[in-house]
Amino acid sequence: MIVNGHWAAFLHVKTTGERSGSTAGGVYHSKNEAGQECDWMLGWSSPYDTDNWKNMVCTEIKEAKHFKDGSHWGSVTDKMYKCGLSGSGNWNGCLSYVSTESNTSPIFEATMTLEKASLSSACISSNSWWARMSGSMVKVNVIS
């Protein structure tokens, strides 16, 4: 659980000696200012071969449980391959911003907030994650 105004980080690493990149994402669950439940999806791709492939990110905000059954991950991956090093999402008063670096062990950073950012008691909890090997540092911010 990430409480409003705080941040969390984790290191997502590949197996030593493997020549692989990563494609990963996660869904965080919270409420908007009107009290409606919603999900923030944050995703990134950090390929091993950055000469031929570029790092990419994407984010979407949808109604609660939109991503739960896993049927949307294919379209998320497709969207990510059309995005660049940064992206944003906006849905029903919820905002998200994601960015990554262009190197082989990039930092992926995401910020989730509300348009008015006035709820001092809001919290966001991790709902689900999907991932494949990585060498990325992930930092998630919740802005109060």
Distance between CA atoms of residues 135 and 27, nearest Å:
20
- The chain-wide mean pLDDT, for the chain, equals 77
- Average pLDDT of the residues in 117-130: 46
- Is the pLDDT score of 121 beyond 60? no
Query: What end-to-end distance do the CA atoms of the chain give, in Å?
Result: 15
- Given a contact cutoff of 8 angstroms between Cβ atoms, the answer to whether 136 and 26 are in contact is no
Token readout for 19 is 């020549």
Distance between CA atoms of residues 126 and 40, nearest Å:
9
Give the up-direction half-sphere exposure of residue 53: CA atoms within 13 A in the CB hemisphere.
Answer: 16
Domain residues of the chain, as ranges? 2-142
- Give pLDDT tens digits for 56-102: 999 999 999 998 887 877 788 788 877 889 999 999 999 999 988 88
